[in-house]
Amino acid sequence: MNFVLSDQHLARREEFRRFATEELDRGEQFPAENLRQAARKGYLGLPLPFEWSGGGTDFLTYTLLIEELSRVCAATGLIIAVHTSVGTYPLYYFGTQEQKQRYLCGLARGELLGAFALTEPEAGSDAGNLSTSAYKSGAGYLLNGTKLFITSGDRADLYTVFATIDRKLGHKGITAFLVEKNRAGLIPGKPEKKMGLNRSNTTELRLEDLYIPVSNRLGEEGMGFSIAMALLDGGRIGIAAQALGLARAAIDYTKTYLKEEQGQSGLKTGQGPAFKLADLATKLEASRLLVYRAAQIKDAGRKCSREAAMAKYYSADLAMEAAICCMNICGFPAAGFDHPLAGYFCDAKATQIYEGTNQIQRLVVARELLQ
């Protein structure tokens, strides 16, 4: 196993770091301009093949991108991660040639934004329990139901939506559909007010007699659950990279803070905070190794469910731990709403929840250990 990034990876990381530092804005609104600039650089389709207007990189390069973006603006990192790993890959992996020709180049170039609509009020961790229905109607299907917490729910151009053709069939009834934003019956709600990541719009999505032609069905009837599961490993590695970027941001901030303090009273730079920082830096290295390793295993075309789950929960837990420890070290100002550390803390929380909660990741690992 290679523990050192290649020169090519280091060069790309440098490029992403410069882009994130110099070109991303950290405002409060939906980061449309960040996405435009990222699209201009080819970052919305980075790991897709050239033939589909992608950047032709490996998955490891993509994780470096998400880490660097998230260190500066975690919402931009999240939107691009969701767009790529679960907004675009379903079509790339499972779409027909005709479906890909319609949308894949647009997604890879960032002219279209992708979204993934699986979660429902009664189907979060237990995604197989979804109740959104898809009934045959003429040459297509009528979809009815409610999706929850959909990233870019009111902004996306193309949604991969999961519905069941017959609830009695359980997982085997779940079917995936490509849904364009302007279809009658697709009704996004208002963005949820979250403790963090508010620049990334998370919305409800109501489907009311939403007609979808057969030509927009992704894969065969009943393949939807396998499609969703096939995407999870890549999605989890992306979120692990996002959390890694957030943990790094908190640690970098605190390093600078302590160095400045050292030059002044020196009061706060005893072994207590310094050792805490050393612990966090060590865990950060462990998190980085887990994330990059999971990406490398995926790049090698091997199954990486266990490694992706480990990387996801370790990095997300570290992002929370780092934010809290760093706030403790920096004292009260860090608890103010406008303070960067408070921002990292608020953003980090969701990384423990989406793409499968950290408990579910532990379940994945434990099941593999005990089988």
Ligand X SMILES: Cc1cc2nc3c(=O)[nH]c(=O)nc-3n(C[C@H](O)[C@H](O)[C@H](O)COP(=O)(O)OP(=O)(O)OC[C@H]3O[C@@H](n4cnc5c(N)ncnc54)[C@H](O)[C@@H]3O)c2cc1C
Catalytic positions:
355
Q: Are 147 and 121 in contact (CB under 8 A)?
A: no
149 makes contact with ligand X (CB under 6 A): yes
Residue 327, H or E segment? helix 305-330
Which region among 103-111, 148-156, 168-176, 331-339 touches ligand X (by CB under 6 A)? Answer: 148-156
d(CA 364, CA 270): 41
Which of 229, 359, 366, 368 touches ligand X (CB under 6 A)?
359
Q: How far is CA 191 from CA 160, 348, 354, in A?
A: 19, 19, 16
| Size of interface with ligand X, in residues (CB under 6 A) | 21
Return the number of other C-beta atoms located less than 10 Å from residue 237's C-beta: 33
Half-sphere exposure of 29 (CA within 13 A, CB side): 4
Other C-beta atoms closer than 10 Å to the C-beta of 59 total: 24
Does 118 bind ligand X (CB under 6 A)? Our answer is: yes
Residue selected from 116, 159, 257, 292 as contacting ligand X according to rule CB under 6 A: 116
Instruction: Tell me if 197 contacts ligand X by CB under 6 A.
Output: yes
Under the binding rule (CB under 6 A), the answer on residue 82 touching ligand X is yes
Shortest distance in whole angstroms from residue 69 CB to ligand X: 16
To ligand X, the closest distance from the beta carbon of 120 in angstroms equals 8
Nearer CB in complex with ligand X: 32/366: 366
Q: Which of 112, 117, 240, 330 is close enough to bind ligand X by CB under 6 A? A: 117
Check binding of 125 to ligand X (CB under 6 A): yes
Each residue 319-358 as x (binds ligand X by CB under 6 A) or -, in order, gives -------------------------------x--xx-xx-
119-127, 291-299, 305-313, 339-347 -> range binding ligand X (CB under 6 A): 119-127
Tokens of 188: 């996004």
Q: Residue 18 or residue 367: which is nearer to ligand X going by CB?
A: 367
Note whether 191 and 122 are within 8 A (CB). Answer: no
Amino acid at 206: R
* Cβ-closest position to ligand X: 124
Using the minimum distance from each CB to ligand X, give the nearer residue, 195 or 335.
195
Min dist. Cβ of residue 108 to ligand X (A): 19
Residue 197 or 290 having the CB closest to ligand X: 197
Residues in a beta bridge with 135: 142
363 binds ligand X (CB under 6 A): yes
Q: Is 365 in the site for ligand X (CB under 6 A)?
A: no
Contact between 86 and 224 under an 8 Å Cβ cutoff? The reply is no
User: Of the listed pieces 22-30, 284-292, 297-305, 359-367, which binds ligand X according to CB under 6 A?
Assistant: 359-367
For residue 68, give every residue at least 6 positions away whose Cβ sits within 8 Å of its Cβ, in sequence order, or none. 13, 16, 17, 19, 20, 245
Name the nearest CA neighbour of 144 among 101, 191, 187, 90.
187
DSSP lists the bridge partners of residue 271 as: none
Tokens of 88: 């675009």
Angstrom CA distances, 253 to 53, 182, 296, stand at: 37, 43, 29
Contacts with ligand X by CB under 6 A lie at 82, 116-119, 124-125, 149-151, 194, 197, 202, 350, 353-354, 356-357, 359-360, 363
